[in-house]
Amino acid sequence: MSKIHSLTIMVLSDSVGGTASNVVHAALSQFPNVEYELKNFPFIREQSQLQTVLEKAKKFNAVILHTFVDTMFVDMIESFCFEQDITCIDVINPLIKEVTAQTNTMPQHKPGANHMLDDKYFDRISALEFAVKYDDGKDPKGFLEADIVVLGISRTSKTPLSIYMANQGYKVANLPLMPESSLPDELWQVDEKRIVGLTNEEEMLSNIRRERMISYGMNPETPYSSMERIRREIQFAEDLYNKLNCKIINVSSKSIEETSAIIIDSLNNH
């Protein structure tokens, strides 16, 4: 089925906007054939900034998600969206109002209160830096320090998974696999329980790689996207996974969130 490009989604926030962005990705993962453009506008602290962004939303006929807690900004957004007939989704305030009603406790109305610089915050930052440093096998020494080592052939979502799990505080290193490449010695020193091998279906990989070539303005009919080449790569990877005795996950029908949950569950059960 062909992709349908029909949505522009704008996330507006007085902080980093991560909460609303996660909601967007979770919701749109249910619509694999719908393409969308996500535009983030974080740290909006002035009315003039907000007005400029709202005018952009009008221009793009965008769906707006916001996580403002300042009632002045919330009212400004809702009024503008009502007048311009723009869809607006308040991600956080309905729950805040319900908690207030049920606990008789007033909220702080403090922007970015969920992003306090606590230990968990710094752990996430450290994990993100780790994932970037040890992405794509840049330095195999990272395998010995990682909480999780992710292996996989091209287009099995190694890097997105690494970054997603880093946001949860896990130090993740990943290694791309090719039959022609030599494997680093460090890989064989890692506890098998901390290694995850990703795989995918042949046809899906071929389609993904073909689309990748098209996006680069190149001929999609290359050895990179050929079924013969992909079949060889999958076999090489699965043979390696069996030698390592590591967990194998087929990502063909799984979101990044699902794959991450499987890995975390596996770690917790060992």
Phi-psi region of 36 (alpha: psi -120 to 50; beta: other; left: phi over 0): beta
Q: Above 70 in pLDDT, residue 270?
A: no
Domain boundary among 59, 83, 115: 115
Q: Tell me if 252 is assigned to a ligand binding site.
A: no
Which CATH number belongs to the domain containing residue 8 in this structure?
A: 3.40.50.2300
Q: Is 79 annotated in some ligand binding site?
A: no
Mapped to the 3 state alphabet, what secondary structure does the chain carry? CCCEEEEEEEEECCCCCHHHHHHHHHHHCCCCCEEEEEEEECCCCCHHHHHHHHHHHHHHCCEEEECCCCHHHHHHHHHHHHHHCCCEEECCHHHHHHHHHHHCCCCCCCCCHHHCCCHHHHHHHHHHHHHHHCHHHCCHHHHHCCCEEEEECCCCCHHHHHHHHHCCCCCEEEEECCCCCCCCHHHHHCCHHHEEEEECCHHHHHHHHHHHHHHCCCCCCCHHHCHHHHHHHHHHHHHHHHHHCCEEEECCCCCHHHHHHHHHHHHHCC
The pLDDT confidence band at residue 5, using thresholds 50, 70 and 90, is: low
138 is an annotated ligand-binding site residue? no
pLDDT digits (tens, 9 = 90+) for 124-175: 889 989 999 999 999 999 999 999 999 999 999 999 999 999 988 999 999 9
- Number of structural domains in the chain: 2
Q: Is 156 annotated as a binding residue?
A: yes
120 labelled as ligand-binding?
no
Q: Residue 203 sits in a domain of what CATH number?
A: 3.40.50
CA distances from 144 to 171, 174, 188, 207, 243 (A): 11, 12, 10, 34, 18
Please indicate if the annotation marks 153 as binding a ligand. Answer: yes
Of 115, 137, 165, which closes a domain? 115
Question: Which residue range(s) make up the domain with 232?
Answer: 119-268
Is there a single domain that holds both residue 129 and residue 142?
yes
Span 30-53, mean pLDDT?
Answer: 89
The answer to the question of whether 141 is labelled as a binding residue is no
For the ranges 114-118, 125-129, 255-259, which has the lowest average pLDDT?
114-118
Cβ atoms of 92 and 67 within 8 Å: the answer is: yes
198 — pLDDT class (breaks 50, 70, 90): very high
- Note the pLDDT tens digit of each residue in 79-114: 999 999 999 999 988 988 888 889 988 877 666 555
Q: Residue 71 annotated as binding? A: no
What pLDDT does residue 18 have?
A: 76
5-19, 170-184, 210-224: range with highest mean pLDDT = 170-184
